[in-house]
Homo-oligomer: A and B are copies of this chain.
Amino acid sequence: MTTRLAIIGAGLMGADHARIFAEELSGASLQVVVDADEARARRVADQCGAADAGIDPEAAILRGDVDAVVIASPDFTHAPLSKACIAAGKPVLCEKPLSQSSAECLEVLEAEMAAGRPFVQLGFMRRYDQSYVEMREALTSGRIGRPLMMHNFHRNVETPAADFTGTMAITNSAPHEFDVVRHVLGCEYASISAWQPRRSDTRVAPVVMVLETLDGQLVTIEVNNNAAYGYDVRAELVGEAGSVAMNHVAYTRTDADLSSGTAYEPDWRGRYAEAYRRQNRDFLRFVATGDFPATASSSWDGYAAAIVAEAGARALSNGTREPVQMIGRPDFYRRAAA
């Protein structure tokens, strides 16, 4: 069976998704690429072999020759377009975030529950990264005992925009960490605190967060969007009997000039190429079977990320230990694996 896809958003991520479905996986055909910039939509459509390009996402969602949808348009469109997919009865792979507003996330949840089956797979691709997969296995196997702490570091070379703020670090970058930690630990958060050091220039300083989970674990997160030296994500899961940490993956090291060095990538795309591939393959299975993938993020996970980010923004602003207050998890969103 071939899944016929509409790609909404032809920017960096949309083009990547189009390429992955067109070249790196079998079983998908791209029908239409949509972007506010029609020429851009056309370029991506041509590259990935889609016949059509357009500017109207709702129309694309409703097309009879489209089985499923990939949303990679600007963040504020994610929730309304996801709802449009639910209304159309079409599974959707939606880039993160579902919405930066937890209230808007709830609307998606309600629409999805009303529809009676899951439609929204959220693109927190980190869950598919081999490092996190192995961390979960370390817990499952009992090799490191019960988890006590998880330390997380998210570093970019620099922020895309000069007016990036600490709050944006929490609401834009940190959700990847919020989500994957919840996934690894299988638990929701109880509280969050946040700090920023002072920089000597005007670029946004790192944000350091400490979170408590309902199971009593501690989670530390550093988001450093101006780390300068490279794109670098680190994580360590500390258990009662040992610890599992992410390795810096590099295929070679170079000895020159009194130094032995391995390279950092400039951005996340190489780092997570395989994770995206696994995620998108899971999406095709989801479309084909209707069974929501055990690993993937759902609308609920999008809501959780938004709630934590909102509390984190308050914590940073107020200098307080903020409670993380979520609605009770609906049975609809209960799964064996968190």
Residues on A close to B: CB < 8 A? 21-28, 129-131, 133-135, 138, 143-146, 148-149, 151, 157, 193, 195-201, 205-206, 208, 210, 212, 215-218, 220, 222, 224, 226-230, 232, 238, 240-266, 274, 277, 281, 319, 321
Residue contact A206 to B149, C-beta cutoff 8 Å:
yes
A21–B224 Cα distance when bound, in Å, is: 40
Q: Which residues of B contact A198 (CB under 8 A)?
A: 215-217
B245 pairs with A247, CB closer than 8 A: no
Report whether A193 and B210 are in contact in the complex, using a CB–CB cutoff of 8 Å. Answer: yes
Are A247's CB and B220's CB within 8 A?
no
In the complex, the answer to whether A238 meets B258 with C-beta atoms within 8 Å is no
* Residues of B contacting A24 in the complex (Cβ-Cβ under 8 angstroms): 24-26, 277
Q: Closest residue to A224 on the B side, CB-wise?
A: B238
Contact of A255 among B229, B250, B281 (CB under 8 A): B229
Query: Complex Cα distance A199/B230, Å?
Result: 35
Distance to closest chain B CB from A83 (angstroms): 30
What is the distance, in angstroms, from A255's C-beta to the closest C-beta of chain B? 4
A11 to chain B, nearest CB (A): 22
CA distance A241 to B261 in the complex (A): 14
**Candidate in A215, A230, A261 with the most chain B CB atoms within 10 angstroms:** A261
Q: A25-B23, A228-B242 are in contact. Are A251 and B247 (CB under 8 A)?
A: yes
Q: How far is the CB of A238 from chain B (nearest CB, A)?
A: 7
A254 close to B242 (CB less than 8 A): yes
A281 to B216, CA, bound (A): 46
Tell me whether A255 and B240 are in contact in the complex, defined as CB-CB below 8 angstroms, given that A193-B210, A210-B193, A220-B208 are known contacts: no
Q: Which residue of B lies closest to A230 (CB)?
A: B258
Residue in chain B with minimal CB distance to A228 = B241
Q: How far is the CB of A319 from chain B (nearest CB, A)?
A: 7
Measured between C-beta atoms, what is the minimum distance from A218 to chain B in Å?
4
With a cutoff of 8 Å between Cβ atoms, the chain B residues found around residue A148 in the complex are: 197, 199, 205-206, 224
Q: How far is the CA of A98 from the CA of B26 in the complex (A)?
A: 29
Q: Are B222 and A256 in contact (CB under 8 A)?
A: no
- Contact at A250–B251, with CB atoms within 8 Å? no
Q: Which 6 A-B pairs have the closest CB atoms?
A: A198-B216, A242-B256, A261-B261, A130-B251, A259-B261, A243-B255
Q: Is the CB of A252 within 8 A of B134?
A: yes
Closest Cβ neighbor of A243 among chain B residues: B255
Residues of chain B lying within 8 A (CB to CB) of residue A195: 210, 212, 218
Q: A249 to B249, Cβ gap below 8 A?
A: yes
Contact: A252 with B131, CB < 8 Å?
yes
A197:B252 contact, CB within 8 angstroms:
no
Chain B residue with Cβ nearest A28:
B26
Contacts of A27 in B (CB 8 A): 23
Residues of B within 8 A of A197 (CB): 148-149, 212, 216-218
Q: Which residue of B lies closest to A208 (CB)?
A: B218
Can you identify 18 A-B contacts, CB atoms within 8 angstroms? A134-B251, A143-B254, A149-B222, A195-B210, A197-B212, A208-B218, A228-B240, A228-B241, A229-B255, A229-B256, A230-B255, A232-B255, A243-B256, A244-B252, A248-B260, A258-B265, A260-B264, A274-B274
